[in-house]
């Protein structure tokens, strides 16, 4: 095992040219790895004029669903630099790792390499394998954030594949020791069923309760992933109820019958919101990671009676207060980024660092504060 002092980590990132909002959580995790967990460095594909043109072509092919025309981003190459103990890639999209072609020495200079896929649906595996398999087989280990994709992906690859649940910056999301007032009565981020949205909007107009919801659609871009995550944190810490549905809930053409949960389940919980939405029944990953009472209160996606459910819950203040505390403490002690990175280091044969131990201690202290009320 590599010692804590000697572990050298390089993290491959696409942040210089891919700034969609849904990528911000991944960039937050990368920041934690290279600045708090390790004194590591980011490896960025070269972005020049040719690379920019190719990136725009890539966006077009993604929107059109023409995988066979996707090309690597970047017209020039760069070097990884010094040898590293662990080379880590955390792509939001499988297409992101095509840009590895701009760092031709990444494999030769890495003792161990891990690719941690944030999203690869079972239905997409057969079509992507012709170009994806040769790249993934260069890694020593592949991690997948979608539980049901692990087994079919493992059958295609020559390297081990394992599941790892999403994580969040639970320390930043924790509203304690000075919880702000929860002035947002109901918060929805992303798509909502029209009938549910209309019911909540009408409820807010009649009663004066504050229903906050997303007004944008499609790919939105962030100028600064750090500020985006801070803004989201402030919103969730001030929300009483937060809607969490299974990943791609209304995009059945992509997910088919595959049921998965995403990071949103931990974002709302870590901020102390009461979560309304899908309990992903039949999912071993869900059962293991969201196993406390009240983690998600079952609520239909198309629910004209959603305001009535919220009013019913508001009539149980003591239980709701306990749900909030349980949500926060479980995230502090189980679902912070630190725990996923510890699991990743074990796979790579690297020891945790003193900085990681310090973060663990802070999380434990915060959890004790929350329990104490």
Span 197-222, pLDDT tens digits: 999 999 999 999 999 999 877 678 88
Helices first, then strands: H and E counts in the chain = 14, 11
Task: Express the helix, strand and coil content of the chain in percent, nearest 5 each.
Answer: 45, 15, 40
Segment 73-82 mean pLDDT? 70
pLDDT digits (tens, 9 = 90+) for 20-73: 999 999 999 999 999 999 989 999 887 654 455 555 565 555 555 554 434 444
Check whether 103 has a pLDDT greater than 50: yes
Indicate the fold that domain 9-165+338-363 takes in CATH. Rossmann fold (3.40.50)
Q: Which two tokens stand for residue 214?
A: 């997303």
What b-and-e string marks burial along 334-351, b requiring 16 or more CB atoms within 10 Å of the CB? bbbbbbbbeebbebbebe
Do residues 278 and 245 touch, judged by C-beta distance below 8 A? yes
Helix (H) or strand (E) holding 127, with range, is: helix 125-136
Strand partners, 2: 350
Residue ranges of the chain assigned to CATH 3.40.50.2000: 170-334
Q: What is the pLDDT of the chain when averaged over all its residues? A: 90
Tens digit of each residue's pLDDT (9 = 90 or more) over 274-291 = 999 999 998 999 999 999
Topology of domain 170-334, CATH: Rossmann fold (3.40.50)
Given a contact cutoff of 8 angstroms between Cβ atoms, the answer to whether 327 and 266 are in contact is no
- What contacts 246, CB < 8 A, 6 or more positions away? 259, 260, 261, 277, 278, 280
Q: Give the residue from 294, 272, 292, 290 showing the smallest Cα distance to 281.
A: 290
Cα(219)–Cα(18) distance, rounded to whole angstroms? 11
Q: How confident is the model at residue 2 (pLDDT cuts 50, 70, 90)?
A: low
Q: How large a percentage of the chain has pLDDT more than 70?
A: 90
The residue among 55, 108, 112 whose CA lies nearest residue 79 is 108
Nearest to 87 by CA among 141, 131, 129, 132: 141
- The pLDDT value given to residue 256: 78
- Residue 45: the pLDDT is 82
What are the residues whose beta carbons fall under 8 Å from the beta carbon of 303, sequence distance 6 or more? 193, 195, 196, 199, 309
- CA 323 from centre of chain: 23
Q: How confident is the model at residue 78 (pLDDT cuts 50, 70, 90)?
A: confident
Q: Give the C-alpha separation, 112 to 203, whole Å.
A: 55
Q: What per-residue confidence (pLDDT) applies to 87?
A: 97
pLDDT of residue 49: 47
d(CA 1, CA 346): 9
Q: Are 271 and 182 in contact (CB under 8 A)?
A: no
- Give the residue carrying structure tokens 């901020």: 271
**Rounded Cα gap, residues 153 and 142, in angstroms:** 9
């Amino acid at each position: 095992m590599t010692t804590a002092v000697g572990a050298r980590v390089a993290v491959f990132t696409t942040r210089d040219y891919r700034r969609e909002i849904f990528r911000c959580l991944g960039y937050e995790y990368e920041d934690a790895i290279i600045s708090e967990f390790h004194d590591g460095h980011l490896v960025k594909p070269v972005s020049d004029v040719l690379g920019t043109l190719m990136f725009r072509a890539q966006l077009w092919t993604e929107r059109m669903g023409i995988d066979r025309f996707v090309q690597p981003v970047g017209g020039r190459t760069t070097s990884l630099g010094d040898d590293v103990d662990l080379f880590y890639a955390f792509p939001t999209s499988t297409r992101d790792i095509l840009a590895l072609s701009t760092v031709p020495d990444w494999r030769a200079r890495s003792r161990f390499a891990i690719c941690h896929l944030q999203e690869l649906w079972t239905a997409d595996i057969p079509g992507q394998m012709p170009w994806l398999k040769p790249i993934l087989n260069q890694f020593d280990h592949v991690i997948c954030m979608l539980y049901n994709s692990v087994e079919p992906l493992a059958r295609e690859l020559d390297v081990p594949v394992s599941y790892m649940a999403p994580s969040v910056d639970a320390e930043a999301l924790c509203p304690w020791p000075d919880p702000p007032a929860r002035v947002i009565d109901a918060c929805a981020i992303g798509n909502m069923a029209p009938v549910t949205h209309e019911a909540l909007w009408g409820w807010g107009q009649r009663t004066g309760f504050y229903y906050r919801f997303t007004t944008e659609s499609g790919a939105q871009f962030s100028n600064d992933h750090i500020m985006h995550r801070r803004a989201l944190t402030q919103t969730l810490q001030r929300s009483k109820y937060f809607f969490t549905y299974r990943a791609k809930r209304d995009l059945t053409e992509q997910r088919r019958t595959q049921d998965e949960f995403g990071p949103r389940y931990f974002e709302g919980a870590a901020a102390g919101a009461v979560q309304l939405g899908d309990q992903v029944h039949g999912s071993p990953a869900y059962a293991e990671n969201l196993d406390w009472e009240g983690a998600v209160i079952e609520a239909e996606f198309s629910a004209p009676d959603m305001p009535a459910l919220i009013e019913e819950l508001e009539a149980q203040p003591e239980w709701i207060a306990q749900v909030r505390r349980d949500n926060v403490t479980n995230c502090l002690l189980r679902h912070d980024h630190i725990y996923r990175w510890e699991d990743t280091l074990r796979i790579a044969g690297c020891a945790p660092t003193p900085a990681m131990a310090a973060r663990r201690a802070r999380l434990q202290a915060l959890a004790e504060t929350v329990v104490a009320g």
